[in-house]
Structure 1
Amino acid sequence: MKQAVTLKLRILLAAEEAQLLQETMRQFAVGCQLVSQYLFDHGFVLDQNVLHEALYHRLRADIGLKAQMAQSAIRHVIGNYKTVQTQMKSEPYAFKDRYTGQWTRCPRDLTWLRRPLQYRKPQLKLVRNRDWSWLKDGRLSLNTLAKRLRVTPYLHGFEQYLTPDWQLGTATVLRTGGHYFLHIAAAKEVATVDRTQVKDIVGIDRGLRFVLVSHNRAGQTTFVSGKAIASKRAQYHRTRQELQRKNTKSAKRCLHRLSGRENRWMSDVNHRLSKTLVSEASPKTLFVVENLTGIRQQSRRQAQAQRELHSWSFFELEQALRYKATLAGHTVIAVSAQYTSQRCPKCGRIDKTQRDHKHHTYRCVACGYQSNDDRIAAMNLVTLGQQYLSGSNHPRFTKEVVG
């Protein structure tokens, strides 16, 4: 299978070069907005050929994009709409009937959008060997609307991805914190770990009180507290509230900077957590995580807990774990989260009253086994991993089977 990663290289630019690149990024964003508006106005026909026929000459003549950049703008917007389409399908609209009390789920599609996707932030997509390439002296050649630039990248440990077994693809130019970055897509063919080759299983329960709790077949459990992370998130939230109350231009600029800073911090947290899990695992480990799709819609928490739930990037942590595990010779599966916190890992009894949410404990009324409720979930995930190794492609717990 092919494993993809993104190389995030900072590039050094002179003042004139930065100006040329920034102007190209602005015009590319304008072109993307044109394509997005056209899709919104014409029924979301996500077809490259149709959009090329309708918009290519406008992108070239009115916006001033070069030929390859015009094609890249169309592909980029189509990809964004397809991503939104997938997200909307996976998260249908749910409402409760006021008379019957029953919940109804309505599938959603792109017609639910009230306005087209917005492309306000300057950006630029560059095709490998057409718009960007490596030079023999180690510098990068980047295409702009005026001329090609030769810039110096900071590799910072990314040298391992510049070998022949890694295939480099499209690059994205972004500006963050006053610096310019080149995000390069890279892919490598890696050997997959068959379920018959797995040597160990690690169940990983993700949450708010504990960022994650891992448990392996040897009975070893690791807790990673989320207290410090929750405290810092709360600090960011208070700062945002203060700036929103001021509602001045400078406060809005500060809010924008703050948002980017918090997102980068959260990404770094996920990167370090996933790296630690993979580095401490034994060879050929199966990581088992819960499928948390729709958890935000299903939650009935209070306002503060709901905000904390929305601010934690469960999906990003899972994605980081997946690619790191694959490159290290491990594998990851996502299983149903149903009953993982209600089932006794010793006798198999399922009863939601056995879990004490307030004190974060679990006690089985049948066999008397008790432990931390998050640890219970991680232990049950190991059991689901064993079911997977036994041949079940969709392991899950059911009351009828377990009793």
Structure 2
Amino acid sequence: MDQSIVIKYQIKPKSHTDEKSLAQAMEQFRLACNYISQYIFEHDFERSQTKLNNKLYHPIRDKFGLKAQMAQSAIRCTVARYKTVKTQLARHPFCYDTGKKDENGKPIWKSIPRDLNWLGKPVFFHRPQLDLQRGRDWSYQKDNQISLNTLQKKRIIADLIEPKGFKQYLDGTWKLGLAKVLKVGQKWYLHISATKTFSDYQKGQSQHVVGIDRGLHFLTTSYDEKGQTAFYSGKKVMQIRRKYKRLRAQLQSKGTKSAKRKLKKIGQRENRWMTDVNHQLSKTLVDKYGSNTLFVLEDLTGVRFATEQHDKDYRYEDVSWAFYQLEQFLTYKAHLNHSEVVKVAANYTSQRCPKCGRINKANRDHHKHLYTCDKCGYSTNDDRIGAINIQLLGTRYISGNDQPRFVKTTDSE
């Protein structure tokens, strides 16, 4: 199993001339990506690297002055962006109210899968960037220096700023690949992809099986094979998100250019903060349970968080947390620690009594965050119920059931 990560470092070009060379190359690379994106959009979302090379390689080099490998990287970068957009569209189907109601009088919603044909315009690259292939376009020099290609004949040299831990990726076990040059404010950054081969995770090596329920009252609730439960509160997260919401409302009411610029900065700041929280949470989970752990999550693909069921004043912060990002972070951190993440069906995990198997939606009180079984009387936190049931599905997975799920039968009613 190959695990890829991105290592991020700040760099400092040697001179102002070098900075201008980098900025020029980044802008031309961005324009080339938009040119390729327009072609892909107009040709039925063609994403074959070979076909795009045959059609666009020479026009890209002539029109934007990119070097040979840079032209290839621009095509690869644009194709990768369309693949990402395709995945995002698939994870968020179009949902609409059918106008019908179920036996409880609630609206019946229907979802339609989305693909690239739902795009109304080509993917657009706003931020200048530059993708460089190791060996051809960039290389590591002695004394923590990086050699980078630009549009000029001579390479430029940049210093790595505080490259803590960088040399661990030069021990021969990691394969360094594409490097992306970015500029944020007045600072330059280099994002380097690194890949390492790990042995495939075997079910038999699992020393811990941990069920993780993701939510908003508690961002995660974990339950292990020893019956231990750990909660990660989302109260502070909710307070901070409401603060950002109030600030955005104030700026939107002004409508000035400076307010719009401030809005953009706030959005970026909030996203960085959310990413940091998910990083800390995933690291906490991996460190808590150690290596050889099977983390079990619900498969939330296509699951719609019904916004109409949330209070209007708190709807935004209630339904827009980055659960998928948390899943991605936990997955790669688990792989680096010789562990694994598996997703199981979400059916009835929050409605099933783990003691008697009774499945009843009415047993869960969302306002009190309490689950009380109407059959056996078992009662506990509703998020803990979800984690217990998810952990049980993980145990069944270890036992040989590759697609464990709960099914509502007459015995469970």
TM-score normalized by structure 1? 0.94
Q: Decide which moves more: 387-396 or 105-114.
A: 105-114
- C-alpha separation between the residues in 2 aligned to 1:351 and 1:310? 24
Q: Decide which moves more: 384-393 or 81-90.
A: 81-90
Matched residue type, 1:109:
D
Q: Look up the match of 1:97.
A: 98
> Offset at 1:401?
8.1
Measured against aligned partners, the alpha-carbon deviations of 1:278-337 in whole angstroms (never above 9, x if no partner) come to 111044111111112233465543344441244311111111111111111211111111
C-alpha contact (below 8 Å) 1:296/1:309 kept by paired residues: no
Q: Decide which moves more: 116-125 or 137-146.
A: 137-146
- C-alpha separation between the residues in 2 aligned to 1:327 and 1:49? 33
Q: Look up the match of 1:321.
A: 330
Which of 361, 372, 381 is residue 370 of structure 2 equivalent to? 361
Which of 142, 150, 174 is residue 166 of structure 1 equivalent to? 174
Structure-2 change in CA distance of 1:184 and 1:262 (3 Å)? same
C-alpha contact (below 8 Å) 1:350/1:402 kept by paired residues: no
Q: Return structure 1 stretches of 4+ with deviation > 6 angstroms.
A: none
Alignment of 1:391-402 (within 5 A): 391-400=400-409
C-alpha contact (below 8 Å) 2:307/2:319 kept by paired residues: no
- C-alpha separation between the residues in 2 aligned to 1:309 and 1:157? 38
Matched residue type, 2:16:
A
Alignment of 1:197-216 (within 5 A): 197-216=205-224
**Secondary structure of 1:137's aligned partner:** coil
Structure-2 change in CA distance of 1:387 and 1:299 (3 Å)? farther
Alignment of 1:118-133 (within 5 A): 118-133=124-139
Matched residue type, 2:335:
T
Measured against aligned partners, the alpha-carbon deviations of 1:74-114 in whole angstroms (never above 9, x if no partner) come to 11111111222233234332333337876444333222111
Matched residue type, 1:136:
K
Q: Look up the match of 2:347.
A: 338
Q: Look up the match of 1:153.
A: 160
Q: Look up the match of 2:120.
A: 114
TM-score normalized by structure 2? 0.92
Which of 224, 245, 262 is residue 237 of structure 1 equivalent to? 245
- C-alpha separation between the residues in 2 aligned to 1:349 and 1:166? 49
Matched residue type, 1:287:
F
- C-alpha separation between the residues in 1 aligned to 2:286 and 2:362? 35
- C-alpha separation between the residues in 2 aligned to 1:114 and 1:254? 28
Measured against aligned partners, the alpha-carbon deviations of 1:155-190 in whole angstroms (never above 9, x if no partner) come to 233443332100111111112243211111111111
C-alpha contact (below 8 Å) 2:211/2:224 kept by paired residues: yes
Which of 252, 263, 267 is residue 255 of structure 1 equivalent to? 263
Which of 370, 395, 402 is residue 386 of structure 1 equivalent to? 395
**Secondary structure of 1:4's aligned partner:** strand
C-alpha contact (below 8 Å) 1:355/1:361 kept by paired residues: yes
Name the % identity: 48
RMSD across aligned positions (CA): 1.9
